[in-house]
Amino acid sequence: MSWLLAFVGFAALIILHEAGHFFAAKAVGMRVERFSLFFPPLIARKKRGETEYAIGSIPLGGYVKITGMNPAEDIPPEHAHRAYYRQPVWKRIVVIGAGPLVNIVLAFVILAGVFMARGPVEPPLVVGAVQAGTPAQGKLQEGDKVLAVDGKRLTGSYQDQISAVTKGVNSHKDRGAVSFTVDRGGREVTITGNTFYDPETKRNRFGFGYDQEASRQDVGLFDSAGVAVDQMWVVTSTTVSHIAQIFKAEKREELGSVVGGYEQTRQTIKENDAVLTFYVLALISLSLGVINLFPFLPLDGGHIFWALAEKVRGKAIPFSVMERAGFVGFALVLMLFVIGLSNDIDRLQNGGFGIR
């Protein structure tokens, strides 16, 4: 059942994205020929008025076909005045930008709701379960607040501090014991111990987890909106940074594809945690919106870029120029997809996505 619910969640994100284009096009007077969930070949279609509503057989997205999206297409004279490339630049930007905008606004609304239902996790890191038979047993205790690793005080966000602990522990492969400074009942205690290699996670560990609920903060309506914006900024800046540094191996390995997003959604649904499921869907919706705004055809951002270029130039950009740029953009998008898909397949073969 989890795969079906994950599929429905993804389909909803696609429908809402395309609905943004659809309703914006209708609002500014453009002619919409087709509204399709998924890509051809079509398996179902129904025409109402001037628009055909369809379902494709390839579940990798969706599209809205607007008359005149290709300047070279043959348009009946009675529809020429409503063609896409016959419209002012501002109308084209509104129509193209509406899709990503829906994804971004949807992500904000969901995240704000998520943080109202379950507040954000903030430092300090609180020790949760201590694994029996590991170096942590008898040294760390549930409820300890981790303050420093190897004498280095932890700073930054909750996730930054987890990363610092993971990196500190993993650095002790051949360099002796790791030390932790913790707050235990109001007094600082330093403990030391050797690490061990965990073949499942492929890194050195000490043998404890974190109690996120002990670090969770309660927030109200306005605070939850602010936390949602902060979270969106972190995800957006991280996404842009990773794609901009695609030629760095460590950044390239962190990219994912729609397959990974689907699998993460499915795993959270299996956990029977509705809040976590909505959180993952919000991050996927935000990523869809942000990535679609990259200035490469055939992405929405590519259409916006060329519309703005036309405005600056003062006359239409030759279609041949956009077509050549489109080939380059398509190659870049395909490269990102292939890299992300390869990473996701590797994650699926090596223990999944670590939702918990």
pLDDT in tens, 243-282: 777 666 666 666 666 666 656 666 676 666 788 888 888 9
Q: Which whole-number Å values give the CA distances from 255 to 65, 161, 262, in the listed order?
A: 30, 22, 14
- Which residue blocks in 118-220 are alpha helix, DSSP H? 158-170
10 Å CB burial of residue 244 (0-12, 13-18, 19+) is exposed
- 18 counts as catalytic: yes
Q: Which of 18, 142, 263, 323 is catalytic?
A: 18
Same-domain status, 130 and 90: no
Same-domain status, 109 and 160: no
Same-domain status, 110 and 177: no
Same-domain status, 104 and 130: no
Q: CA-to-CA distance for 315 and 85, rounded, in angstroms?
A: 12
pTM comes to: 0.74
Same-domain status, 25 and 89: yes
**Residue 177 is part of a domain; what is its CATH number?**
2.30.42.10
Q: Using the predicted structure, report yes or no on whether residue 90 has a pLDDT greater than 50.
A: yes
Q: Which domain range does residue 160 map to?
A: 125-215
Same-domain status, 60 and 86: yes
Number of domains comprising the chain = 2
Mean pLDDT for 42-55 is: 92
Same-domain status, 110 and 132: no
Confidence at residue 355, expressed as pLDDT on a 0 to 100 scale: 46
